[in-house]
Structure 1
Amino acid sequence: MPVNLTPNAIAMINGGDVNLKPLVQVLDIKQMGSAQERFRLLVSDSVLTQHAMLGTQLNDRVKTGLVKKGSVIQLIDYICSQVQKRKIIVVLNLETIIPDCEIIGNPKMVSDAPAQKALPNTDSMQSSMVDYNNPSSQSHGSNMHSIRPALSSQNHGGNMQSFRPTSSTQNQGSKMRSFQPALGAQNYGNDVQSFRPTVQPPYQPPPSYRNHGAVMKNEAPARIIPINALNPYQGRWAIKARITAKGDLRRYNNARGDGKVFSFDLLDSDGGEIRVTCFNAVVDRFYDVVEVGKVYLISKGSLKPAQKNFNHLKNDWEIFLEATSTVDPCPEEDGSIPQQQFSFKPISEIEIAENNSIFDVIGVVISVNPSVPILRKNGMETQRRILNLKDGSGWTVELTLWGDFCNKEGQKLQEMVDSGFFPILAVKAGKVSDFNGKSLGTISSTQLLINPDIPEAHAAKDWFDRGGRDVASMSISKDIAQGGPKNEVRKTVSQVKLEGLGRSDKPDWATVRASVSFIKTDTFCYTACPLMIGDRQCNKKVTRSGNSRWQCDRCNQEFDDCDYRYLLQVQIQDHTGLTWATAFQESGEEILGYPAKELYLLKYESNDDTRFADIIRSRLFYQYIFKLKIKEEMYGDERRVKITIFKADKVSYSSESRYMLDLISKVRTY
């Protein structure tokens, strides 16, 4: 049975027709040699050929043999884009009509197609002129209505003047008006005027947009397409999606100078996800505009390969917004777009997962540790909090919260657990770490959902309430926390001394439950420089100058007021022994409960020694969970071990009881 490809399809697609849905034949397939696997096709309408690029979501059609050389396919969704001064058809969706077929016709490339030299008869000419708006249109006598020539046009009269395929075209006598051939034209009469070699049908915007009169091609609204159909060969596009995550605003410095950047993740109704990144001036436009959970219409961005080291989404591309980009909130909620998309895996699979891989898990929070400060390699301080998750796989895992997660979701979770309530926590995009045992940690794109209204959360709660809380489980994480060697290992005071902690090249970290038994009050704080050096305070000790102002030798400046910072020397003890430790500003204020300036003025300016002494005595023999940094340092010619209190949290007896019960269960297991 003969196969009829869509006449004039290539010319019409090049002219801007995106609603034709033509039948074309695949003449050749090549795999592109780039970092991303893509396939380039050569398609034909039996007369002309054109290069086409498959969207990556259609790669399986080639790999499974549904699309191959000779296949007749129907283009469902497509656009024609200008790439390096050449037009390429970008295929977003297609259907295979005939898998195997002989080559139809003798097609030539668009740029190589010569004008036709043969003169077809009148009947064949009329049969090749198809009215795509009215397939049943016919030619009656000397009148031809709604004629659209497939290949060429001939003049068999006296004059031909600018023939164009308008809604109605008539031939009256020897004159034809409004004639525009699709590809080429020959003059077989007296005159040919206004020769135009290509079809340019008017652009018809999608029906969802209101018609406000004539619209120029570059001003017409872009079509909304699925995220999975995005590719860098599209000139104009728009996507409608929900923001599922928004990263923090970060600043950077490189050879080009200072800059700032932030990103957010999108999810559409088809389940497609992609990351959007903004730099510098674009950050100022959109950072306060985008909100997690809301739906936006986004267009006029550029696509670049995703940086897989930092981007965990299953998309090979990433959108970069520019000065001309638009991010418009949708006025109405779109229920077809889910709030979030999870790919939950049981905790037991984390044990065999590769380091730095991304996991979605859901489980019951069974314990939460207090937040502690951590000093980064760049000298900046951040917060860290560790909690434990348990699920029906029979395993538990440590989840390390960093930065703002500690004070937002982390604090809420600790309050819930301390009150005897065990919440369900869904973790989107947790990062696997294998340092001293497998664990999960938060990254900038991580999301924590407490008691989410999803089936997996209801199932986890039902399992826990029906006896899951009493089921013995093993931890895939060691007792050493992520983020620093030994900085979460529980020790007693005597163990700190007997094990020789702090005598290696790097400092040791230990957690000790102890009380403060003595506080030195002669030099409990010092006057400090308040000036900022970059984004950090100087904090060097300052002295009075001759004019009663404060002077900093480091900054070489004078100022009227200074800062007051703790430098406490305290003795801590537990049931095994006692030792001396130093507490600086934050930990000193946690121990004494007053700002350093208030106690300084009370002791040295108000001369209220009684009140000062009462405050000091009231802070003795309270139990704390001390986070200790232990490091050997040189004092003159002598090496001494210095213990610094990095964090002092009052003991939460409910959390401490659960910790001890967990230790007992582990001893019984082994």
Structure 2
Amino acid sequence: MASISLTKGAITRYQNGTTNQSATVKVLNIRQCESSTATNVERYRLSITDGQDTFNACILAPELNKLIKDEQLRENSIVKLEKVAHNLTSTGKSFLVILNLTVLPQSTMPTVNNNNNNRSNTNICPIEMITPYLNGMWKIRARCFAKSPIRSHPVCDFDFVDASGEIRIVAFRDECTRFHPMIEVDKIYDILGVRVKTADKRWNNLRHNYELTLTPGSIVRLVDDTTINTSIPDVHYEFIPLRDVSKQSSEAFIDVIGIVDTCSDIIPFTNRTSNKDSVRREITIMDEDTSISITLWDEQANDFDEELAENKAVVAFRRIRVAIFNNKYSLSGHKNMIMKINPDIAQAKHLRIWYNAGGRLTNNRITTATTTPNRLTREGYPWKTIGQIENEQLGRQGRPDYVMLKAICMHIANDRVVYTSCPNNDCFRKVNKLLSGLYHCDKCRQDFNECHWSYMLRAELVDSTGAIWVSFFRQQAQELMDNITAEQFAQAKENVSYLNE
């Protein structure tokens, strides 16, 4: 079967205004735009790729609509753009108008080949090779290792793994209702007829740069073959040694494996954000070099058996979160983390052999969780201006973003600078004064004769690109206040004469 090449660089050329040359591109998506009430003309918007860049603002000339209605032009079609025009919207955004194109015959489209001599498997594409530029009939053969509940709209997602990697598959509306009860965790499926798109890393923490979307034409078939079952892993791990956890940035997702050394009892607490009762459990795992503390929350904490520490079980964590507090490293579970007890993998067997051979007697391990690196925890954090923070919507996408910022403090809001806090160490929860004169902490569920004062202030920072309000707490706020303690500030606020001392 003959193949053709996409015209790399064509999109950049068109956006720069050079539209007098034809180009071969692939159509990734077609959707109908809202019709103008004045003209009532159907308009279609296309997303295209030239094999190097993707462009989502292509308007099809109305005289070409017949190609879509006759199903000659559809998603994944390879087309030759014969004539295009470049324009700008009133807000300055670039878009293309496709005035003429030729849909290339199916026989000339590139196909997927995984170099497998078994003809029945020639169209199986390894997950790691999936890109929007694949064409022809292809499928993945993979194991479902995670499945989300149905959310509103409705929408759900599935995480699949094969020997090469992992990828997320998303289902919306009818496809969500159709496939959610069909796909089961730990089962292997052949999946074909899906759409490839760039993964949205705000919600997708898998390592693959793309994700798949189920369509009305998608086919999902259960693979019930014991020989295939053993060739596809349960989970795709990329383990790092525990000693390298301190090289990771805060909030990074990593894979680790170790032997359970210690396990605490269930610890109840009140969530400061939701004010709901929750539980956590602290465990420690070790490998040949070091050990580290891990916090498990809620259901994961309840499901973790204390006997695993007594039996020195091997536990593997996939996509566990790195936490840094007071320059101390630890790991923290979350709802999308996967935890496997005594997994049947080579790394687990290696750890078991090491431990049984006397590794448990090693007494020179350094606990990573209590190691304070002799450096500021700024490695891996990019420098940003205030303008960049605003334009990139940092910190406003459902997760924190960590950056370095250099700015001038122009103003400190005086509406609330200090508050009465719990005197227990590491609590810092606001306490309420009772009629009896005692102070009550909802988190600790205790009454105290006195409280502590803590900083919680807002400051306006400015640089050459803009201004932004930033919250400061405790020690950082005290440094901003020229090392005046919160107690001193509270006393000064109650007795202005104190400022003159």
Q: Identity over aligned residues, as a percent?
A: 22
| Alignment coverage as a number of residue pairs | 325
Matched letter for residue 353 of structure 2: D
Check if 1:635 corresponds to 2:431.
no
Check if 1:355 corresponds to 2:250.
yes
Q: Matches of 2:135 and 2:355 in 1, distance apart?
A: 53
Q: Matches of 1:280 and 1:85 in 2, distance apart?
A: 19
Counterpart of 1:51 (choices 24, 29, 52) is 24
Aligned ranges for residues 459-470 of structure 1 at < 5 Å? 459-470=350-361
Matched letter for residue 367 of structure 2: S
Q: Matches of 2:216 and 2:105 in 1, distance apart?
A: 34
Partner of 2:369: 477
**Please, what TM-score do these two structures have when normalized by structure 2?**
0.53
Check if 1:301 corresponds to 2:183.
no
Q: Matches of 2:76 and 2:203 in 1, distance apart?
A: 34
Matched letter for residue 337 of structure 2: T
> Residue 359 and residue 396 in structure 1: after superposition, are their counterparts in 2 closer, same or farther (change >3 A)?
same
Check if 1:386 corresponds to 2:282.
yes
Gaps of 5+ in 2: 14-20, 29-50, 53-70, 84-103, 373-417, 447-501
Q: CA deviation at 1:280?
A: 5.1
Q: CA deviation at 1:292?
A: 2.4
Matched letter for residue 638 of structure 1: G
Secondary structure of the structure 2 residue equivalent to 1:240? strand
> Residue 303 and residue 246 in structure 1: after superposition, are their counterparts in 2 closer, same or farther (change >3 A)?
same
Partner of 2:261: 366
Partner of 2:224: 331
Q: Matches of 1:233 and 1:345 in 2, distance apart?
A: 32
Matched letter for residue 344 of structure 1: F
Partner of 1:449: 340
Secondary structure of the structure 2 residue equivalent to 1:312? coil
Partner of 2:35: none
> Residue 385 and residue 282 in structure 1: after superposition, are their counterparts in 2 closer, same or farther (change >3 A)?
farther
Structure 1 stretch displaced more, 221-230 or 434-443: 221-230
Cα shift readout 1:549-602 (whole Å, capped 9, x = no counterpart): xxxxxxxxxxxxxxxxxxxxxxxxxxxxxxxxxxxxxxxxxxxxxxxxxxxxxx
Q: CA deviation at 1:347?
A: 0.6
Partner of 2:211: 318
Partner of 1:230: 130
Q: CA deviation at 1:374?
A: 4.4
How big is the alpha-carbon RMSD for the aligned residues of Structure 1 and Structure 2? 4.7
Matched letter for residue 51 of structure 1: T
Check if 1:30 corresponds to 2:12.
no
Aligned ranges for residues 564-575 of structure 1 at < 5 Å? none
Secondary structure of the structure 2 residue equivalent to 1:434? strand
Secondary structure of the structure 2 residue equivalent to 1:311? coil
> Residue 293 and residue 305 in structure 1: after superposition, are their counterparts in 2 closer, same or farther (change >3 A)?
same
> Residue 30 and residue 250 in structure 1: after superposition, are their counterparts in 2 closer, same or farther (change >3 A)?
same
Aligned ranges for residues 2-21 of structure 1 at < 5 Å? 19-20=1-2
Q: CA deviation at 1:208?
A: 9.1
Secondary structure of the structure 2 residue equivalent to 1:288? coil
Q: Matches of 1:361 and 1:110 in 2, distance apart?
A: 49
The question of whether the paired residues in 1 share the 8 Å contact of 2:147 and 2:185 is answered with no
Check if 1:433 corresponds to 2:323.
yes
Secondary structure of the structure 2 residue equivalent to 1:458? helix
> Residue 468 and residue 238 in structure 1: after superposition, are their counterparts in 2 closer, same or farther (change >3 A)?
same
Q: Matches of 2:200 and 2:7 in 1, distance apart?
A: 32
Q: Matches of 1:636 and 1:402 in 2, distance apart?
A: 36
Aligned ranges for residues 107-506 of structure 1 at < 5 Å? 223-232=123-132, 237-249=137-149, 251=151, 258-259=152-153, 261-269=155-163, 271-279=164-172, 281-333=174-226, 334=228, 335-376=230-271, 377-393=273-289, 395-408=290-303, 410=304, 412=305, 414-417=306-309, 420-436=310-326, 437-471=328-362, 472-478=364-370, 505-506=420-421
Q: CA deviation at 1:261?
A: 4.1
Q: Matches of 1:201 and 1:237 in 2, distance apart?
A: 12
Q: CA deviation at 1:31?
A: 7.7
Q: CA deviation at 1:87?
A: 4.8
Matched letter for residue 160 of structure 2: L
Matched letter for residue 78 of structure 2: I
The question of whether the paired residues in 1 share the 8 Å contact of 2:156 and 2:172 is answered with yes
Q: Matches of 1:641 and 1:633 in 2, distance apart?
A: 5
Q: CA deviation at 1:504?
A: 6.1
Secondary structure of the structure 1 residue equivalent to 2:240? coil
> Residue 401 and residue 421 in structure 1: after superposition, are their counterparts in 2 closer, same or farther (change >3 A)?
same
Q: CA deviation at 1:265?
A: 1.4
Secondary structure of the structure 1 residue equivalent to 2:259? strand
Matched letter for residue 308 of structure 1: K
The question of whether the paired residues in 2 share the 8 Å contact of 1:268 and 1:337 is answered with yes
Partner of 1:152: none
Secondary structure of the structure 2 residue equivalent to 1:404? helix
Counterpart of 1:88 (choices 66, 75, 78) is 78
Secondary structure of the structure 1 residue equivalent to 2:78? strand
Gaps of 5+ in 1: 1-18, 35-41, 43-48, 56-60, 63-80, 90-108, 113-197, 211-220, 252-257, 481-502, 512-627, 648-670
Q: CA deviation at 1:250?
A: 6.4
Q: CA deviation at 1:456?
A: 1.1
Matched letter for residue 312 of structure 2: F
Q: Matches of 1:467 and 1:32 in 2, distance apart?
A: 62
Q: CA deviation at 1:346?
A: 0.6
Q: Matches of 1:250 and 1:200 in 2, distance apart?
A: 37
Q: CA deviation at 1:82?
A: 7.5
The question of whether the paired residues in 2 share the 8 Å contact of 1:225 and 1:237 is answered with no
Q: CA deviation at 1:467?
A: 2.4
